[in-house]
Chains A and B, each alone.
Chain A
């Protein structure tokens, strides 16, 4: 499976609503996770199975699926939300998307 993400980057402000799309080259059902990474840090799991929030992740994050297209939405961007977002297929060989950079 090949995962693509759009946009590759987005400029946003605190309070904005940001939407990121991930497309899979084949049917991966609901086997998709989202990660967030800040500079110099390891990626952090945000959600899995398309829309299940990892413990401790705020409810402003949400996920959805339409066929092989997946969407991550951040409703009300906070300063700690800037960084790079990655999607990932959650079965072998666990490919990642190329990332979407969210900056000011």
Chain B
């Protein structure tokens, strides 16, 4: 399994941060998989943000601090999943990673800066 991330490295404050993680070697709709977003910053360390998984229907778990402004969207046609984080502030500046179910495979990371 490999994960490849894409998305902008600069987001303006109050805008929406959107990143995509393309999957190869597995299916986003696998009924044994789960797809995570994690971020890392000097101030917060490693922080799990949320995950999506398919078990007859799609289910989503989000970190409590992210529930109000984060959405994960799976795309079965493109075999990928995306992160959308709205109303960003400079505190959301971090390296964002996607990772598999057991976090045994990670994307390469995307450095996202929130700045005007």
Contact = CB atoms under 8 A, between A and B. Distances in A.
Interface of A: 33, 35, 41-45, 48, 54, 86, 88, 90, 92-96, 98-99
B102 A45 contact: yes
B107 interface: yes
* A interface SS class: loop
B108 A93 contact: no
A45 B48 CA distance: 15
Nearest to B66: A93
Nearest to A99: B45
Q: Which of B63, B99, B102, B103 has the most CB of A within 10 A?
A: B103
Interface of B: 36, 45-48, 61, 63-64, 97, 99, 102-104, 106-109
Contacts, number: 39
B106 A93 contact: no
A93 B45 contact: no
A96 B38 CA distance: 10
Contacts of A95: 48
A48 B61 CA distance: 21
Nearest to A56: B104
A48 B102 contact: yes
Contact of A42 (B63, B64, B109): B109
Given A42-B97, A42-B109, A99-B45, A92 B61 contact: yes
A38 to B, nearest CB: 12
B63 A93 contact: yes
Q: Which of A44, A45, A98 neighbours the largest number of chain B CB atoms within 10 Å of its CB? A: A45
Contacts of A48: 102
A6 B108 CA distance: 28
Nearest to B107: A42
Contacts of A99: 45-46
Contact of B104 (A54, A88, A93): A54
